[in-house]
Each structure stands twice: as C-alpha cells, then as structure tokens.
Amino acid sequence: MTGIFEFPYTVANSDIDELNHAGNYHYVRWMQDAAVAHSNANGWHPQKYQELGAGWVARSHNITYLKPAYEDDALIIKTWVSDLKSATSRRHYEIMNAAGEMLAKAETNWAFISFKTQKPTRIPAEVAKCFELVENS
C-alpha cells in the first residue's frame, strides 16, 4: 500500500495546443491516469472493480495552473487520498516538472458507484483498507 504515489509522464506532441504548451484538459487525463496507476499499485486494477461491480467516477475537479508544461517535459504527478467517506473520496495531485517546479495543484472528489445502478454505493472495506490516507499539506 502506498500513501503518496508518483506517476511519471512525458508530455507528448499530442498534448500541445495552439499556445505551444500542454492544453489544460490534458492535466485532467494525467490526473486520472495517475489515480488509476495508484489504484493498480494498491491491488485494485480495472478488472477487479469490474468483478466487484462497482468503482470510481469523478464528481468534480479543482485545478490551479501555475506554470505551463511543454513537449518532452518529464513530469511527475504525485497523488494521494486524503479522505474516504461512506461513498466518496478526495484525491489530491501535484504536477511537477523535472526541475522540481510545481506546474499545477489539483484535487478530485470521487464517488464510488454501482456499475449496475450508476448510483453511489458504500465503499467496501476491502477497497478502503487499500488506500493509506495522507493529510493534505
């Protein structure tokens, strides 16, 4: 089980917009990729959620952009879970470049839903225990 998870990513040409830096919506994809990788590292991969019949969907994102990312930049997306409630979870992110500069800070409010009903359902204990809670700094 890992508390703070580090997800490496290299900015691709397809991430670059008309301003010659990574488009804002790509940050959301990187955040989701980091969250999925963190879940995988903690033993909860997509197939396991399918077998459970429930999993995570994003309810809201909040991103503060601080500096741009450019093609070929090596990034580290740090992510951690700060709380787990009955059917929701708050996850935080810090997106940094190789020089250690903070490019963005973000958080996502995730809901745990039944795939059958598409409605929130209680987070099972076997899922909750796999995520170490880290206080947001």
| Structure confidence by residue, pLDDT tens digits, 85-123 | 999 999 999 999 999 999 999 999 999 999 999 999 999
Please give the pLDDT value at position 137: 62
pLDDT at 72 over 80: yes
pLDDT exceeds cutoff 70 at 133: yes
Amino acid 115: pLDDT: 98
* pTM (2 d.p.): 0.94
Assess if CATH 3.10.129.10 describes domain 5-128: yes
- Residues 121/34/93/24 CA torsion (nearest 10 deg): -100
The DSSP symbol for 57 reads: E
Decide if pLDDT at 2 tops 80.
Answer: no
Output the pLDDT for position 110. Answer: 98
Across 47-71, b (16+ Cβ under 10 Å) vs e yields eebeeeebbbeeeeeebeeeebbee
pLDDT at 32: 97
Query: Where does the pLDDT of residue 136 fall: very low under 50, low under 70, confident under 90, or very high at 90 and above?
Result: confident
- Going from N- to C-terminal start, the domains of the chain cover 5-128
Tell me: pLDDT of 1 over 70. Answer: no
- CA 123, CA 50: separation in Å to the nearest integer? 14
